[in-house]
Amino acid sequence: MDFGQLIQTISLYAIPVLLSITLHEAAHGYAAKLLGDNTAYMLGRVTLNPLKHIDPVGTILMPLLLYVATSGAFLFGYAKPVPVRFGNLRSPKRDMIWVALAGPGVNFIQALLWGVVFYLLQGMGISERFFIEMAQGGILVNVVMFVFNLFPLPPLDGGRILVGLLPYRQAVLVSRIEPWGFFVVMALVVTGVVSSLWMRPLMGLSYEVIKLLLSPLAALVA
């Protein structure tokens, strides 16, 4: 593993990753607060301070070890989950959907904003590789966060959305998966199921939507 390449990769992705994680988690807490649950707010988790959301193992150590061990072929990490007492929400089953959607929604918005940065750099004639690749990395990181977190299995956001959408009996059955959901998701990731059947198709679709939404700006700076 080239140590210089590792440092370069960290420097390129540090800001996009910190922003994607921090705003994702803060969005969950803020949405919960708006909908009646102050738990995350009282614990200081509705904040843009990344230190409040970083898990030393899941956010730093695990991704670094996986990057080195697989030469960048496989990465996985996680932040501290924002505590939400769904029973405190004004309409728990319905509001659970909005709280869960808030995180991936903010990631999609960030992907769009990094796309704006990318086109503005081009429009201003800035060709510095570091800034161009950081903007591209910002799009990639947030599209990955957006798509992966929508995978419909608890404890991921997509699983909570599914629970909120299903009729009560089916929702209870799906929610019972949560204690083992992380291990199920990891098994599906390692075996390539998530990548081939979920990540690649939906990431491709997400990129097309972003490209379409930013097409007026792209035409303007061309």
Catalytic residues: 25
How would you label 121-155 residue by residue, b for 16+ Cβ within 10 Å and e otherwise? bbeeeeeeeeeeebbbbbbbbbbbbbbbbbbebbb
Fill in the amino acid letter for 156: L
CA pseudo-torsion sign 104, 121, 204, 189: negative
Alpha carbons 128 and 122: distance in angstroms, whole number: 10
